[in-house]
Amino acid sequence: MTELENDQPGPIIANLLQVFSVFLAAALIIWGGWSVVGDDPFARQAVVWVANVAMLVSIWIGLRARGETWEKLGLSFKSLGKRALLRIVLQSIAVLVFALAAFVAGSMLTMSLQATAGGADMSGYKYLQGNLPMLVLALAAVYVVSSFGEEVVYRGFLMTRLAEMGKGTKMAWRTAALISAIVFGLAHFDWGIVGIVQTTFMGLALALSFLLVKRNLWVLVLSHAYVDTVLLVQLYLGPTGTGGQATSL
């Protein structure tokens, strides 16, 4: 695991305010948007996408104000050689396995505590079932706002700012990983309690992986894209449980 040994820890209050402002903006967009669109599942999902984009814009503004670049959050846009690219791909596959194992572990824990528990509530994604054009549209949107956006928000941004408040020590990064996982799980509240537990476990696996790959966020972005592809294709092919619930990724 890495430390911010050469980084100056940001002011605690400034970091807290930035984190709060990023998530408050998203919460207000979702609350206001859902109250307008009602129960239409696709419209509600579109509101979430807008909220994610708003968080990315807010983070970008914060980086500019601090004189920082995306590299601060683990995103380097420098050209890479073939060996470096291959390493990123192989690492992303390993992270995928770790994340899916954590997701399954979360499912098993939930079901052991609640015998009647089904899978995560995916009823809000029924518009995908058998609809190929909608699947393609959803994948394109999800790759940007979820695969990329969520990794920037929950791993790159949130973990970095939290770790800065702890002066970048190993314990600060580990604590940041745990907190980010909990926040990531709660952000999936519309999946129900089972979905929250599943995504919390998966979020912890992704957060720990972020540290293990020396905060190279591209590895996490690729892994997240694999997970989202499997999930959406599964939903396109049809429900795997009752009541529009998915029992696994």
The token pair at 161 is 């700012």
Average confidence score pLDDT of the chain: 87
Domain locations in the chain as residue ranges:
81-246
**Given a cut of 60, is residue 1 above it in pLDDT?**
no
More confident residue, 191 or 9: 191
Alpha carbon distance 25, 84 (integer Å) = 36
| pLDDT tens-digit readout, 15-40 | 999 999 999 999 999 999 999 999 88
Identity at 44, one-letter amino acid code: R
Is residue 141 scored above 50 in pLDDT? yes
> Other CB atoms closer than 10 Å to residue 200's CB: what's the count?
22
Averaged pLDDT, 138-146: 91
- Condensed to tens digits (0 to 9), the pLDDT of residues 100-132 reads 999 999 988 887 766 555 566 677 778 888 889
Q: What angle do CA 27, 30, 33 make, to 5 degrees?
A: 140
pTM summary value: 0.86
Are residues 244 and 122 in contact, defined by beta-carbon separation less than 8 angstroms?
Answer: yes
Surface-to-core class of residue 104, CB atoms within 10 Å of its CB (0-12 exposed, 13-18 middle, 19+ buried): middle
